[in-house]
Chains A and B, each alone.
Chain A
Amino acid sequence: MRLAQQWKMGSSQKRQDLITAYLCLLPWMIGFLSFVLGPMLFSLGLSFFRSDLLTSTFFVGLDNYRDLFREDLFWKSLRVTFIYAFSTVPLGSCLALMIALVLNQKLLGLGIWRTIYYLPTVISGVAVSLLWLQIFNPRAGLLNNFLDIFGVEGPSWLYSSTWALPSLIIMSVWGVGANMLLYLAGLQGIPTHLYEAATIDGANSIRKFWHVTIPMLTPTIFFNVTIGLIYAFQFFTQAFIMTEGGPNNATLSMVLFLYRKAFLQIRFGYASAAAWVLFAIIITFTLIFQYSSRRWVYYEGEAAR
């Protein structure tokens, strides 16, 4: 409606601008409709059917959802996913912020350090998984050899149902480079006059950190934590490559669970229901976080309005 009004009311130049704008948007829109929204809606519909996509499709209403909530393995995968998400995101965020704070100082070879910390982010997940398989090797791995120096006998890591998930959590913090870079950008965007004012008011470094740095970084923290949670809830590659969900389903993430249901048991309707439950969980946490952000995220521009 608004577009039609714009079209009617606009000059020829404005119309051409509109056409140009929509032509530029068209490739993305085609891609989004074809490869994101279309499959999503298809998957939502499929979740109400018992379907293998090969032979038969029956409408079963909410049966897939009901069966899902009754399956022990689903709850186990949910537990694994929650532990992973709520361990890796705070851990990764704190570590990334710490590194960013250090790299925000005037250090020698700062560019090199930044590159080094960012480098793991550009390495593919498969390569990282293979590398960490070696690091976690109970006898020959770097980690246990390091612990051995201090007389600590390292655990079996990926081969133990107790330690397999913590291993994947430890591994995840290796890729904090991307978050670190965002924090660094956020830190460099904090006006120096705020620190100067705090200094005049007699604030020490710790008070400056809590009362200037953290408030000014809250938009970045909000972004990093939100995106981090979304990604963490979807963790798959590490578990798929390094442990195949084992031992004894100790690393069975929700995405791995639904992958097994879809591609090994060929229950696409059921797997779609699992995918939508995961989506609901992610969207719920995102919305809660979004809602709570009004109370704790500070946007400098908003204050000026």
Chain B
Amino acid sequence: MSNRLTRREMLHLGAGLAGTAALAACAPAATGGDAAAGESMTGSDASGERTQIRFASFDWFANVPGIQWAEYHQDEAFPRYYEEHPEVEILWEPHGDGWSTKVLTNMAAGTAPDVMSTWPPIINTWAEKQQLLDLQPLVDQDIPDADDIFLAAGWDQCWDQITQIRMAMVTNIDVTSVYYSKPAFDELGVAYPEQDWTVDDCAATACALTKKNDDGEITRWGGQLRPSYVLGYFYYVEAWGGMVRDDETLMNCMLGEEEALAAFEWIRHNMWDLNCLAQRNQVNASGIPNTWTGVLPADIVAFAERSADQFFDLADQMEEGSWDINHIPTGPVDRVCMGAPDQWCVYKGVADRGNHDDVWEWVKWIGAGEWYQDNVARRSGRLPGLASAADKWPGFLREIDGRLEPVQLEVIVDQLKTGEARGPQLFRFQSVAEELLVPAMEAIYVEGSEPVSILVDISQQVTEAQHATLERMG
């Protein structure tokens, strides 16, 4: 018998395949389908299938050597959860690059994951666009002491002032601290920064630690502010007693006011006139990665503002006991630094998908459950949002790597508890504000081509743009 198809058979087969493909494309996805198919997961059906929860998380999240965040969930966290909730199946969806764009298009199509990792200001935009489930009624019901058990620095940022909803639970909190290289200080006989050091002390220390070669070229800068996020300098505005925007409408930009300009000028002067604080491009030009695991070991800067992560990398690169952590310097009025949470939010679509209660149980378990929150520290190395887990965080890190024993990790917990670490003052329409502010801040600090006084005009433009946006939205 010949295997060769006649033309008629080929046509019939082709038509059949095309028809099948069209039917398959038009048919609704099966309940137990692949999460990646993008169709909303539904609740458990009459046949006893497990309720599925689509859980989209950053896959690069873990800082602890050897730990993969995706593997940890699938091998440890999910099985442990199934012991208590055998009726549920969690589907892991790695966020990957461009996650916020992907989620936004999922939201437009109604196919966003049930639970999603995110951070401000992205989450605020999602809340503004009414895409999130308000968790407050559920929190009131199941976690009545939430205001006490979570670190305020993270918990407060899960509340959206505009929409008046609880947007999320806290995954962890990133805190900006000062990391310093002890040998750099010892070499020049400069005292280590003290806990209550001021911006004047900071500037003097930075200048004392800045080294030049015989040609007068700087070979090491004393200090460095966060290099990649120019809007992070807004914390200094608060340290000078100013405000980024008004507290009521979140739309009136106050960066052109006296306090703000004084704070910005302090940074600019030390960065561009004295050059004791490294400019972003100067460090980029060194060829050393502009991260604190790059600049400190390479002796490009003596102290640097950075995030509360990468401890294990730094321990690998610097001799034990040769580096430490300190508070941000105190300004004329206040001491303020970034305390920005990563968060878990719930897509509003769960109300129709039939898995609302199961989703909340899962979010509660990861957000307020001690086992999981402890593991945010143990498995990712990050500072958990649950206060009890945050207290244990320094100990967990030292258990993982004994070389962190002499490092004052407690400073970071202290920054969170004293209110030094706090959320950014976001505008109501943050991306609209950033469109004007980022180029201006880059002109002042990255290029050094403009004075801080341009912010007087820019500030006015930001306010106008905020109000125009509100008007446009009706």
Which positions in A face B, CB cutoff 8 Å? 16, 19-20, 23, 26-27, 50, 52-56, 58, 73, 137-141, 156, 159-161, 246-249, 260, 263-266, 268
Contact = CB atoms under 8 A, between A and B. Distances in A.
B473 to A, nearest CB: 8
Given A50-B472, A247-B446, A263 B101 contact: yes
B138 interface: no
Contacts of A141: 287
B439 interface: yes
B27 to A, nearest CB: 16
B281 A54 contact: no
A150 B443 CA distance: 30
A268 B130 CA distance: 16
Given A54-B130, A138-B284, A140-B286, 13 more contacts: A50-B472, A56-B473, A56-B474, A137-B285, A138-B285, A156-B281, A159-B284, A246-B438, A247-B446, A248-B449, A263-B101, A263-B104, A264-B431
Nearest to A27: B18
B354 to A, nearest CB: 22
A11 to B, nearest CB: 14
A260 B107 CA distance: 17
Nearest to A133: B284
A139 B129 contact: no
B11 interface: yes
Given A54-B130, A161-B447, A260-B435, A138 B442 contact: no
Contacts of B129: 52, 54-55, 266
Q: Which 7 A-B pairs have the closest CB atoms?
A: A140-B287, A139-B285, A138-B285, A53-B108, A264-B431, A159-B281, A54-B129
8 contacts: A53-B108, A54-B129, A56-B473, A139-B287, A156-B281, A247-B439, A247-B442, A263-B101
Interface string B430-472: 0110110011001100110100000000000000000000001
B439 A249 contact: yes
Contacts of B10: 20
A53 to B, nearest CB: 4
Nearest to B288: A140
A246 B38 CA distance: 34
B30 interface: no
User: Interface size class for chain B?
Assistant: 35 or more
Given A50-B472, A54-B131, A159 B446 contact: yes
A268 B101 CA distance: 13
A248 B442 contact: yes
Contacts of B14: 23
A138 B290 CA distance: 14
B432 A265 contact: yes
A165 to B, nearest CB: 14
Contacts of A161: 443, 447, 449
Contact of A260 (B131, B284, B431): B431
Contacts of A159: 280-281, 284-285, 446-447
A203 B390 CA distance: 84
B439 A140 contact: no
Nearest to B17: A23
Contacts of B446: 159, 246-247
A35 to B, nearest CB: 12
B333 interface: no
Contacts of A50: 472
Contact of B431 (A55, A56, A265): A265
Contact of B439 (A58, A138, A246, A265): A246
Nearest to A54: B129
Contacts of A58: 474
A225 to B, nearest CB: 32
A14 B429 CA distance: 63
A160 B432 CA distance: 24
Contact of B443 (A247, A263, A266): A247
A20 B8 CA distance: 10
Contacts of A246: 438-439, 442, 446
